[in-house]
Structure 1
Amino acid sequence: MTEKNERFEVTNDSQLNWALGKYKEHKIQFDEYDIQAEESRKILEEKYNSELYGIEQRRLKLQAEEQKEMDYFKGLAEQYYLTLETKNPKKTINGSVRFSKKENVSYDDNLLSELKEKGLNRFISVKTKTIESVDKKALKAFVKDGGQLMSEDGEIVEGFKFDKTEEFTVKV
């Protein structure tokens, strides 16, 4: 048997009121789904963030423990390396150790104006007519380990420090 569903039509104010009431019921339910989804999202986000925080804290703790162990074994390797007559890199199947030179260069913001003031233009790099900067390469070449920069009249130029250190490195 075939039934034909007829489409309802609003033909008066009473039917309009009924249709708007049904619309309102569905709108309330529609909005309720948004509210429920948002509440669920917030709960999951809080749980997720809490779990992430816990994971991050555990990672940091474990890495600190591993770093402590690595430092211990690096110290053992360094003690042995220092007993060797030559300080050439030492290689084994598991890795290598050596002392590597590290250059530490630092200067403050006033160095450029101080270099100009003391007539040390050879340490100033001119990029354009209006843009100048400190020529770090020229400074490093001129100043030796732990040394200081001095003007022609023997006055120390403040704001620049350059030194070389040796650092024990392990590569695995």
Structure 2
Amino acid sequence: MTEEKEPYKVKNDSELNWVLGKYKEHQIQCDEYEIQAEESRKAIEEKYNAELYEIEMRRLKLQAEEQKEMDYFKGLAEQYYLTLETKSPKKTINGSVRFSKKENVSYDDNLLSELKEKGFGKFITAKTKTTESVDKKALKAFVKDGGQLVSEDGEIVEGFKFDKTEEFTVKV
């Protein structure tokens, strides 16, 4: 027959002191484990970050080298394309080349208030009863290739610039 042991019970202040001492020992050990784990995490993170940095730098270097080579071959293709009589897209098995029109549009944050101030209400649309916005499509169509918007009194409306350029593109 096995005898069941009764759980330990604190019976006096001396035993309470002993129990609290044991509790304190385990608390100190738990704190030590936490410190060790945090130190290990930091060491691993530093090593990981250093490795990631090396990988990223290697990637950037290799991509820069490849981009340099791509720019060289794009330049060769552009030189050839410029010698052609017609400037329609040229296709080959490996890809195509062409000049494509690119619109460069920039809008300033203060454009809405400036349009109001200089009498260009036709380029302002009401989104709701309380909010208005710049009708960028209408503004772009009005300005066309001039690049700037000029008021009736000859003042240039700052905050809006528009121009078109042609860009040589390669698609593979």
Whether the 8 Å contact between 1:140 and 1:162 is mirrored in structure 2 is yes
Aligned to 2:62: 62
Query: Residues 3, 99 of structure 1: CA spacing in aligned structure 2 closer, same or farther, 3 A cutoff?
Result: same
The percent identity for this pair of structures is 81
3-state DSSP class of the match of 1:88? Answer: coil
One-letter identity of the residue aligned with 1:157: I
**Counterpart in 1 of 2:91?**
91
Tell me, yes or no, if structure 1 residue 26 matches structure 2 residue 53. no
Contact 2:115 2:157 in 1 (8 A): no
**CA separation of 1:9/1:117 partners in 2, compared to 1, >3 Å: closer, same or farther?**
closer
Q: CA deviation at 1:9?
A: 3.1
Q: Give the 3-state SS of the residue equivalent to 2:10 in structure 1.
A: coil
Moved more, 38-47 or 107-116: 107-116
Distance 1:129 1:4, change over 3 A: same
| 1:90–1:98 Cα contact (<8 Å) kept | yes
* Cα distance change of structure 1 residues 4 and 37 upon mapping to structure 2, 3 Å threshold: farther
List alignment gaps of at least 5 residues for structure 2.
Answer: none
Task: Look up the SS of the partner of 2:149 in the other structure.
Answer: coil
SS of residue in 2 equivalent to 1:133? strand
- 1:131-146 alignment, distance < 5 Å: 131-146=131-146
Q: 1:35 to 1:118 in 2, by over 3 A?
A: closer
Secondary structure at 2:156 match in 1:
coil
How far has the Cα of 1:44 moved from its partner? 0.8
1:171 aligned residue: 171
Instruction: List, as ranges, runs of 4+ consecutive aligned residues in structure 1 with deviation greater than 6 Å.
Output: none
- Give me the TM-score of the superposition, normalised by structure 1: 0.84
Please tell me whether residue 158 in structure 1 is matched to residue 157 in structure 2: yes
Preserved contact between residue 123 and residue 136 of structure 1 (Cα < 8 Å): yes
Secondary structure (helix, strand or coil) at the match of 2:21 reads helix
Aligned pair 1:82/2:82, yes or no?
yes
Q: For structure 1, list consecutive stretches of 5 or more residues without a partner in the other structure.
A: none
Aligned residues: 170
Instruction: Give the 3-state SS of the residue equivalent to 1:142 in structure 2.
Output: helix
Structure 2 counterpart of 1:17, which letter?
N
TM-score by length of 2: 0.84
* Root mean square deviation, CA, Å: 2.3
CA separation of 1:37 and 1:147: change in aligned 2, threshold 3 A: closer
Counterpart-to-counterpart distance in 1, 2:10 and 2:119: 94
**1:143 is paired with a residue of what secondary structure?**
helix
